[in-house]
Amino acid sequence: MEKLTFASDDQTMGTDLERGQTRGIQSFNIEEGRRRSMRAETEKLKGSKSSNSKKSAKAGDAKIEFNDIKYHKTPLDELFSQFSSSRGTGLTSSKAAELLKTVGPNQPTPPPSHWVRRTLGYLFGGFGAILFIAAILVFIAWKPLGEPNPAIANLALAIVLILVWIAQAAFSFYQDFSSSKVMESITGMLPDKCVVLRDGQQVNIDGTAVVPGDLLRITMGNKLPADVRLVEVSPDVRFDRSILTGETLPLLGSVDLTDDNYLETANIGMAGTHCVSGSAWGLVVETGDRTCFGKIAKTVSAPKEGLTPLQKEILIFVGVIVCLMVTMILVVIIVWAAWLRKDHEGWITVPVLIVSCVSVAVAFIPEGLPIAVTASLTITAKIMKNNKVLCKSLKTVETLGAVNVVCSDKTGTLTKNRMTVTDYIVGKEVATAAKATALYEASKSLRELARIGAICNAAEFDASTISEPLEKRKVNGDATDTAILRFTESVTVVSSLRSAWRSIYQVTFNSKNKFAINVVQSSSENENDPILMIKGAPDILIPRCSSYVDSNGFVEKMTETDRRELEAVKDNWSSQGKRVILLARKNLSDLVFDPQSQPREYENDIMGHATSELVLVGLVAIVDPPRDEIPEVIQILRTAGIRVFMVTGDFKLTAVAIARECGIITQPKDKIDDITNLAFEDEYLDSIGIKETRSFHTDRAHAIALSGADLDTLTDSQWDKLCKYEEIVFGRTTPSHKLRIVKELQSRDLTVGMTGDGVNDAPSLKAADIGIAMGSGSDIAMEAADMVLLESFAAIVEAVKYGRVVYDNLKKTIAYLLPAGSFSEFWPVLTNVCFGLPQILSSFLMIIICCFTDCAAATAIAYEKPEADVLTRPPRNARKDRLVDWKLIMQAYGFIGVAETLCSFAMAYWYCERQGLQFSTLWFGFGKTQDGRDPAWQTDVLNTASSIYFVNLVVMQWFSLFAIRTRRLSVLQHSINWYLPPAIAFALLIAILFLYVPKFHSVLGTAVVPVEYWFLPMAFGTMILLIDEARKFGVRRWPKGILAKVAW
């Protein structure tokens, strides 16, 4: 796990997160050189550009700023003066109370709930405002405009509209509701009580009452409630910062500055960290949101800004529908005002006009869509959970379906995190680990390698399995240490080696130093000088070695030739995907500090000794094989059009080798580009006569490998070029590089998924379109992520599949809802206004179709299984591809909508003709009664005709439901959805309820439908199903033909 540190403003490319060190105060040449080069590159870039492009600005948006905090550098006397405090008495009670009012309680501030805005959004967002206004208008049309004979049907319609409005708001609330308890879990990481010095007395106060200037008493077991500057420390005081840094070994506290970085120095105690030994006094310098912990909490708990791709698509769809609706309402009002009001005054009164306008709105609005969307997301999230994928928000379920780039970590994500030593080198002689046991007794150098491997090692065999065979023993410790421990135990007895030596002082491995130290002394010969044993990254330690142990166990001077040979072995192993660890030692003499009473000085001295004159004992190669399923997973994602980039802190050569094993890199070694391929523009190379052998315009995959240091130097044009590569490996990266990669990819219209498991990954997980945490990761990483893979990275295949299925099923849902719930409902209103025909489908029955008969089936569509091609087509472009495009409109309106409308009109008016009510009487009749007939009779006939229109739509929709189940495959090739029959049965029962219960007839204008009008729509529906099957056959038969091009 990597640590969290923060860079100052002058550091490269606007990054704010840097890997840091929790141990050691000495700045080594290699690190200083890198920092200087990074700063120089930054200045160069600043000088060459007068302003940053939009891409660069966007790439630097997500930051955690510390605003040049100087508390760790400011003299203590100045700090006491600044906070009106003193060493002897602390703050006065009155000053503390005043500060508490000024700075507020010491606790992270929960993100603003905006409950008023959110509630208004639930009620009036989307179609909510239209439904609410429509309900109010219909109430007005009922009373007072309907006086003296208010229509009960209008009251019923208004009540139903209100119920639909409330139901939509409820489903919108449920969709937005998140069970994440980020702030609760973060607040629980801070202490409830603490001891401070006030008015010269030690008092026990609530952790929330601590204020800047308080003098805090820190003892073993205490959790720090705020950031403090250490004033007094015992020699053995240590702080566990793992919650912030991921480093497991406690940091030795100090009153002196040990690092210029606020998060690195040992004279600062961080809120949320533990004191694991010793005691101290600390001056509180920051509380609440201003602490390091508070800033992280604010970043993690803050909701993502902007809309998800699905929300954007639905918003666009709502906008289109509203525009159409408003246009048609204006047409109705203009026709009424310019013609009907004058020439046919009694045909449409003001109350009727209001109901007509509301009917247009009801016709266009697919009221069942919010219910169907929420149901679809909920159902899919449940299916994904069954596949070990936890979606923290319904809104993000679909986002993964649009992802076209996944940035994945290596260790534990793509690999098994079960490391094994495969090779070693001692005395410049390379051997396999399998031969070590046979060579152990005869090789003095191998025995020394085993000694360091056993003693400079934090891993331990679990006592409960110590008697088991080696391969079955459980080991507690880091994966690298575990591999070396098992290797050592395979050639000798580790416990015997360890019992012969006494540890004096240890420096743990961390992500910046990249080495671990154990200073030991022989248990039987205390008069001997201590020995410094060290293991770590060869690229860091080889330059510090001046000699090596040869094959006979003698120390030889290391020449440049020897270094080159060792580097060659290291690079060869790294190119095979092996992690290389160097083990060395150094005899110590004339140590002037005592590790017990002067731990800080002793550590500084040891770190100084570790910079030079080391004796190289040997190298070991460790393999962490890819998970068995990963190559197949990568191939599936590549087939699905998703590029997988590796982002790791490992050595670049090692990362490339593992990437090749995983299938992320498919190019041969000599075809993998590096930063030099990005250094020049293609136009410049052409101008000087250099032709690149690899062109971006070929179909062949291109690969490039870069280090984190390379990323710091890239310009916008180089990022543009980089983002065109199909295969990318980022090695030696920090969490800040992850954040940078995410923002740069997003700024180039890519939808990015980012995996992570550490505390430091939280910003990049938060910034990504879909943050993906591993179930084995840190709590904060999982809180920041949108999705958690509970078991294996392989689950991402199911996540992508069902992310796409959500989008596909929503398209199917809309294609199902629009024909009957929009198109076929609008024409009765338009013919009523423009052609004087009766409104052959009542507004109430329109609502019944949208919210009842169609809604159940639309929800059932969410259970549709993935189609066969779901993972063989490229991801949709979230910025260009629309949920509802002209192709879907053609399917819903131009084909099914027209067919259902014409058949429903035909059935309704055919019934009228059969009953003696001639169509010629109704055509431009404007309420004219059939000659010789009673108006009541005509009303009954028209009510029955309206019910027939309703039944025709309901029944034809059953067949439309089967037609839209697949977009290209035959419905016979698709698996059965057992939720459809109950949905159809529900629609049938609803229709029977409102048509065959006599009490509804007089109030709602419904009627009993003759039995033959139930079976004729089945013939029409079968015709629709067969025609659509023929269309799908044409799409499959001629994939590049006209039918395929217009297929939805």
Q: Which residues are catalytic?
A: 409
Q: For residue 494, what are the CA distances in angstroms to 468, 472, 474, 489, 812?
A: 15, 16, 15, 5, 64
Counting Cα atoms < 13 Å in the Cβ hemisphere of 660 gives 18
CB-based contact 654:623 (threshold 8 Å): no
Q: In terms of C-beta density within 10 A (0-12 exposed, 13-18 middle, 19 or more buried), how is residue 1002 classed?
A: exposed
Q: In terms of C-beta density within 10 A (0-12 exposed, 13-18 middle, 19 or more buried), how is residue 907 classed?
A: buried
CB-based contact 780:755 (threshold 8 Å): no
**Distance in angstroms (rounded) separating the CA atoms of residues 222 and 279:** 9
**Distance in angstroms (rounded) separating the CA atoms of residues 680 and 973:** 52
**Distance in angstroms (rounded) separating the CA atoms of residues 777 and 756:** 8
Q: For residue 257, what are the CA distances in angstroms to 25, 266, 279, 284, 481?
A: 9, 7, 18, 16, 32
- Edge-to-edge, what's the strand order for the sheet holding 405-408? 389-391, 787-789, 770-774, 752-756, 405-408, 643-647, 727-731, 703-707, 672-673
Pick the closest to residue 704 from 685, 680, 731 (CA basis).
731
Work out the angle between the directed axes of helices 1012-1037 and 898-914 (0-180°, nearest 10). 160
Phi, then psi, of 187 in degrees rounded to 5: -60, -30
Phi, then psi, of 692 in degrees rounded to 5: -70, 135
Q: Where are the alpha helices (DSSP H) in 839-897?
A: 843-848, 854-860, 886-889
DSSP letters along 70-127, please?
Answer: -TTTS-HHHHHHHTT--TTT-B-HHHHHHHHHHH--SSPPPPP--HHHHHHHHHHTTT
Please name the residues in contact with 246: beta carbons below 8 A apart, sequence gap of 6 or more. 1, 2, 3, 4, 511, 758, 759, 760, 778
Pick the closest to residue 828 from 946, 692, 735, 711 (CA basis).
946
Counting Cα atoms < 13 Å in the Cβ hemisphere of 534 gives 30
The full length of the chain comes to 1048
Bridge partners, residue 277, by sequence: 238
